[in-house]
Amino acid sequence: MPGTRISVLWMFMEWAKNYPMRIFWLAGLAGTGKTSIAVTLCRMLENDRTVTLGGSFFCSRTVNVNELTDARCILPTLAATLAQQYPVFATALAAELSADESAALIPISTQIMSLLQRLLAAVASSGLPIVFVIDALDECSSENEVKTLLRAISNLKRETKVKFIVTSRPETHISTSPISSSDYNSILRLHTID
C-alpha cells in the first residue's frame, strides 16, 4: 500500500548509499510485509541514480518452481541480471563461463568467486554501490545451502562495492549464520517496530 513503511524504506536507501556494512538483513515473521518492502525497494533502487540495483531473486515455495527454492540458483541469476546492465561485466562473465561451462552448477562457495568476486572489478569503475536483493531466503529447500550462501556473501572482499539486502523469517539456520552479526551487518527485525 502506498505510504506504508516509508521510514523503513528510507532507512534501507540510506544504508545502501552511505553505510559500509555488506548485508542488511530484514527479519520478520510471516505476514509482516517483507516481500512488499523488497519489491518496493527494488523499484526505488532502479529509479535512484546514485546506486545500482544489481539484481533481485525472490525465493518462493508457493509457485511450484524448483529453481525458486534452490539457493544454488541465486548467484547465477544475480550475475546474469548484472550482466544485462553492464556490457563489460557481461563480457567478463561470458569469458568465465566459456572457460568453465559448469560455473553456474558448481557449489555456492565456489560460485561467489567465479560468478561475482573476480568479475566485479569490471564494473568497479562506475563507483556506484551495487545492491542485490534476495527475498524470502527461508523458503529455500536446503538449510545447508542457505548457510553456505550467507557465509559466501559475508566473505566477499571488502573492496567490492557490493551490498545485499536479504529478507527472511528469523529461522534458526539463518539467525545463527554470519548474517546475524550486528558487528558486520545491519539487522532490522520487522516484527519489533510499528
Q: Which of 36-50, 118-132, 165-179 has the lowest mean pLDDT?
A: 118-132
Burial code of 16-35, b = ≥16 C-beta within 10 A, e = fewer?
beeeeebbbbbbbeeebbbb
Neighbours of 64 (CB within 10 A): 8
Judge whether 1 lies within some domain.
Answer: no
Report helix, strand and coil shares of the chain as percent, to nearest 5.
Answer: 55, 15, 30
Average pLDDT over the chain, rounded to an integer: 88
Alpha carbon distance 122, 137 (integer Å): 28
Query: What's the domain range around 188?
Result: 7-13+21-192
Mean pLDDT, rounded, for 160-188: 89
| Predicted TM-score (pTM) of this structure | 0.92
**Which CATH number covers residue 60?**
3.40.50.300
Overall domain count for the chain? 1
Residue 191 has pLDDT above 80, yes or no: no
Q: Which of 40-54, 83-97, 116-130, 154-168 has the lowest mean pLDDT?
A: 116-130
pLDDT in tens, 100-158: 666 656 889 888 888 888 788 778 777 788 999 999 999 999 999 999 999 999 988 76
Given the DSSP bridges, would you call strands 162-168 and 186-189 parallel, antiparallel or unpaired?
unpaired
Judge whether 170 lies within some domain.
Answer: yes
Bigger pLDDT: 173 or 158?
173
Alpha carbon distance 20, 104 (integer Å): 28
In percent, how much of the chain has pLDDT > 70?
A: 92
- Cell numbers standing for residue 17: 548509499
Helices 74-85 and 143-154 meet at what angle, rounded to 10? 40
Give the model's pLDDT for residue 64: 83
Residue 180, amino acid: S
- Cell numbers standing for residue 84: 544485462
Alpha carbon distance 150, 52 (integer Å): 21
